[in-house]
């Protein structure tokens, strides 16, 4: 299918039509595919998104303290949420990826989808300004904002795993870095997690040690759900 046809469908999906399609193309281009990629737009979009979500929450929850506003904002701008939004938008099929990323399923990878969402926000900001960005971001996140509970205390995977084991009087998990690959500015960390209730260690990956540990804890929790 021609790229322009895909873009036409995408424009309807996001509620915005780019006057300069080349800007959208750059926002959808991963570093593995071309020298002109989306990292600078991602940087800009990240800042714009954080500010707009903060403003929305500030007005929507006028009596909530800073801590709860920060927690709610984090739940909306985190990678998992952005990846889910990118998937809903159909970004994966439009991504411009290098051969390696294409073979490894990069069009489905959460981090790449999340980065592309931020890059698109950055591109819209450059082309149309902050007011248009605010209108679109509010629409894109409306359902998730409606579901927010200021009193909810979301727990990360490591915390949930720790509480799971403590509740069963088991030793805490042990995390160890098993590998660090890639260049200094684009590293991938591999972490193993040992849990006494599991026969084998589980492995997690991420672009930081913290994210790799969270991924390993998530894998451990999934396996423990099958342990009687």
Find how far residue 202's CA is from the centre of its chain: 22
Catalytic residue chosen out of the listed positions 101, 115, 118, 213: 118
Concerning whether 163 is annotated as a catalytic residue, the answer is no
Catalytic residue chosen out of the listed positions 42, 46, 213, 215: 46
Concerning whether 118 is annotated as a catalytic residue, the answer is yes
Cβ-based neighbour number of residue 86 at 10 Å = 22
Residues with catalytic roles: 46, 118
């Amino acid at each position: 299918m021609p790229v322009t046809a895909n873009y036409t469908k995408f424009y309807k999906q996001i509620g915005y039509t780019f006057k300069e399609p080349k800007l959208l193309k750059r926002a959808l281009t991963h570093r593995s595919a071309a020298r002109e990629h989306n990292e600078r737009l991602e940087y800009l979009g990240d800042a714009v998104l954080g500010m707009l979500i903060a403003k929305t929450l500030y007005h929507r929850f006028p009596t909530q303290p800073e801590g709860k506003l920060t927690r709610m904002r984090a739940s909306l701008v985190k990678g998992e949420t952005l990846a889910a939004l990118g998937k809903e938008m159909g970004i994966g099929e439009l991504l411009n990826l290098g051969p390696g990323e294409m073979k490894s399923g990069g069009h489905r990878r959460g981090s790449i989808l999340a980065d592309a969402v931020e890059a698109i926000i950055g591109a819209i900001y450059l082309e149309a300004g902050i007011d248009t960005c605010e209108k679109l971001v509010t629409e894109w996140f409306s359902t998730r904002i409606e579901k927010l509970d200021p009193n909810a205390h979301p727990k990360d995977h490591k915390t949930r795993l720790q509480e799971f084991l403590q509740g069963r009087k088991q030793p805490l998990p042990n995390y160890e870095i098993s590998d660090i690959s890639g260049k200094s500015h684009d590293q991938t960390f591999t972490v193993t997690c040992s849990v006494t209730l599991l026969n084998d260690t589980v492995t997690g990956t991420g672009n930081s040690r913290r994210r790799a540990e969270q991924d390993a804890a998530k894998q451990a929790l999934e396996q423990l759900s099958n342990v009687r």
